[in-house]
Chain A
Amino acid sequence: MESLQVGSVVYTTRLTKKFRNRPLWKQPDMKRIESIIPGTIQRIMAREGDEVTAGTPLLIVEAMKMRNEVLSTVDGVVKKIHVREGEMVPKSHLLVELG
């Protein structure tokens, strides 16, 4: 037996696997651009130190037979590029850090 709080009361009950494995929400950091789908880094247009505006294409990820442009989320500077051309990345992999 475990416990679960609903409202102000803590109930004694069993938990499910799904519940225990549920993803806990993290505040998204706009300056960290992560991959939304597994794929291959086809081309990196940006360079560290570049000044970019929101919407500037930074790199191209090939996934599901399509070339997906990854755009800058904010105005800023490209602080660090964490991937190389040709690299295969999984989902939620850090691609670019903006500053």
Chain B
Amino acid sequence: MQRSNEYGHDEKVQGGCGLFGIINVKRKLVPGSVIIDAISVLHDRGNGLGGGFAAYGIYPEYKDYYAFHVMYENKEAIAPTEAYLAQFFNVTYHEQIPTRVTKAIQAHPLFYRYFVQPKEEAKALLPNKDENDFVVGKVMYINENITDAFVVSSGKNMGAFKGVGYPEEIAEFFKLEGYKACSWTAHNRFPTNTKGWWGGAHPFTLLDWAIVHNGEISSYGINKRFLEMYGYKLTMLTDTEVITYLFDLLVRRFGFDFRTAALVLASPFWKNIDAMPGEERKVLTALRMLYGSALLNGPFAVILSHNRGFVGLSDRIKLRPMVAAQVGDYYYLSSEESAIRKINPSLDRVWFPKAGEPVIIDFEQE
């Protein structure tokens, strides 16, 4: 196993990953400077080997197009990826994602974004003609088959920005101070099981799902095999990828609500299921019997963001921290209360979500 301190440059490696999420349920826009300010309080939870952000509502002029953020580890990967995209999508606009050379980040991959709609004739070839499945298939193909090209995000009106560095450095590199979003998540990485690389930074995404994660998934192997049965390709060399795909499978494809999905991913213990009243016990027993392979074992706290809101969830014995807070229309999730206080010292409500109990925050209906 590769250990983080082989890669780290601190004399002493300390901490664990840091998470932060902010959402305005009335879709009021929050400038990038706010999330940068918050995640920088959690600086010491990472070690400079991964930082990243997911932002929602940032492309209103292309809100009906899938926004593909694509990372190229070298120029040669661009042509085959663009040819592949042109084969299946109408690309209405594309550009290199603006970045700046910074002191901290000198060597980096290339980043492009493409605003695309699936071609009708291509989509028609898919048996169920489901547009999301179509897009997922193409993302999986690029990640698996086009050398040195990775889709960093692929949802509508959202985007992920991530790389190797502290999150403040990644934000500076991607000029995030210039973006405004109705929800943001941020991650400061402290890699423990896989090496730090640009694609391995968080968030992990698929369609409009984005996951930031603190912890490690010791059930990775069984989760991976379960997902592969449903056609997912796991290419990112990290346990966090499985969480993203499990949410996609349970919520988008199976149609579960987040509460039910949480009962699968961080299920109650058998001892507590056995003590439940009749109907509840039957449902919980069925969920565990059917989807036991989707249970996430090991310590974790995650924020799953999407176009309708975000969800916080920790493992069932609370081996990773998560604090929630609210001020008016703003909700916050964080690894530490201090990061929330940094951007809003007076909070209406602060609470510590219980193990395995999801915090579900949705945007209000427009």
Do A and B interact with each other, yes or no?
A: no
Residues of B within 8 A of A (CB): none
